Every structure is written in C-alpha cells, then in structure tokens.
Amino acid sequence: MMDRRKSITLSMISPLIHQLHHPSILFFYGKFYNFIHIMTASMIHSFCKFNWWKNAHYTVYRRTGLMAAIVENSGKNFFGQV
C-alpha cells in the first residue's frame, strides 16, 4: 500500500518537476524575483534615502573641515607663523 501511494505521488510530482525545469518557467521566476527585488530595494531606498544623504553630507563636511584644519595647522607650523 505504501509503495503504491509513493508511486502515485511520484507520478503526480514528476510532471511538476519537469515543468519547473522548463526554460519559460525559469524565465518567469527570474522576472518575478527581479521585480520583487527591485520593489524591496526601492522601498528600503525611499525609507533610508534622506537619513543616508544627510549623514553622508555631514561626514563629507566633517572630513573636509578636518582636512582643512590639518593643512592650515601644518602650514602655520611649517612657515613658523602663529
């Protein structure tokens, strides 16, 4: 009884496996996955864009200010000016 049930299950599943390996099905799955990936990425991007942009600007301004201070101090030290 168990072998018969297993063979029936296999005979039902094997066409599905064959269909899953069909190129058009794989192409559809790829498109669907790509769509979900793009939607998720755009949602995350729209949620985090403003904070990321603000933090990036603050970081750039801080770094450029720090570099300007270092250059200014090194110039004063190099030229012996106060």
Q: Which residues of 6-37 are buried (b: 16+ CB within 10 A; e: fewer)?
A: eeeeeeeeeeeeeeeeeeeeeeeeeeeeeeee
More confident residue, 75 or 6: 6
Average pLDDT on 8-17 reads 64
Structure token digits, residue 26: 């794989």
All structural domains of the chain with their residue ranges: 2-79
For residue 81, report the phi and psi dihedrals to the nearest 5 degrees. Answer: -95, 155
* pLDDT 10s digits, 13-56: 666 655 555 556 566 666 676 677 667 776 666 665 555 555 55
